[in-house]
Amino acid sequence: MLTKQRKLILSHAQRDMMRKAGRANAELMDFLRPHVQAGVTTAAIDKLVHDWTYDHGYKAATLGYQKFPRCCCTSINEVICHGIPDDTELKDGDIVNIDITTVVDGWHGDQSETFMIGEVSEEKRAVMQCAFDCMHMAIDQLTPGCRVASIGETVVPEAHKRGFTVVREYVGHGLGRQFHLDPSIPHFPNRQSRIDRLFPGMCFTVEPMINAGTRYTKSDKVDGWTVRTKDGRPSAQFEHSVLMTESGPEILTLTKDGPQKGHQF
């Protein structure tokens, strides 16, 4: 193994630190859950994230990350990712992805969920279901030392089978003492992912973004962050932090109250 790759392998003590960060992040998601409702602004959700995080003595990784101004990302309907919390009120029929990253003693937990506000269209429900199922299918097929490309080889055919597309510009990533580490985890197979392997002791995210229409994206020229679908149709995403162990993948960010594998939205 190359020295560069060896640095990604965590000791057993370090794995426990990642478990702790993942658990804290998941606890925050469960804390937010009852507040994600029609009439609540995304800024109010961000304030809840901020206060919970700093009251616990943790940090929010996104705050100040490459000048990102908030403690979480809130991405509504056609927004794929990196939506900035503001005074927009959630309303009936919206889907909203909330992406949170807590830093505990220097170690990162990273996860997101898409929530339905009241009754949503069949298209929005189906695209959410697809993102959730693709994430779990991709995690489930991982084995110690497997190729990163196995993730894309799972996600792309499943999404296409359901008539949806997979975003390529934004990807999962290694995770540890830094927010974004090697290896890059694309949700489609590419040259590098056919080379990269997931060895025991490596931590990374699986976070497929699935679009109802075209896979192409456009980012907001004014705020520099918000990424939308090019055709304005909805997009959904789920994310977990995963540790590869000697006996297979371990999800570090499982919630108590959220949708579990197999959930039907």
Q: Which residues are annotated as a binding site for a divalent metal cation?
A: 99, 110, 173, 207, 239
Q: Kindly state whether residue 99 participates in binding Co ion, applying the rule CB under 5 A.
A: yes
| Residue among 42, 62, 114, 205 that touches Co ion (CB under 5 A) | 205
Return the SS3 of 76: strand
Specify the length of the chain in residues: 265
CB of 100 to ligand MF3, least distance (A): 7
Out of Co ion, ligand MF3, none, what residue 187 binds, judged by CB under 5 to 8 A for its kind, is none
Q: Is the alpha carbon torsion for 182, 255, 99, 79 positive or negative?
A: positive
Q: Is residue 58 within 8 Å of residue 24, measured between CB atoms? A: yes
CB of 92 to ligand MF3, least distance (A): 26
Residues binding ligand MF3 (CB under 6 A): 62, 65-66, 68, 73, 82, 99, 101, 110, 205, 207, 225, 239
DSSP class of 257 = S
CA triple 224-227-230, angle to 5 deg: 120
Q: Which is nearer to Co ion, 99 or 196 (CB)?
A: 99
Residue 14 CB: number of other CB atoms within 10 A?
15
DSSP class of 17 = H
Beta-carbon contacts of residue 150 (< 8 Å; ≥ 6 apart): 138, 141, 142
> Per-residue contact track with Co ion, 110 to 149, x per CB under 5 A?
x---------------------------------------
Q: Which is nearer to ligand MF3, 103 or 120 (CB)?
A: 103
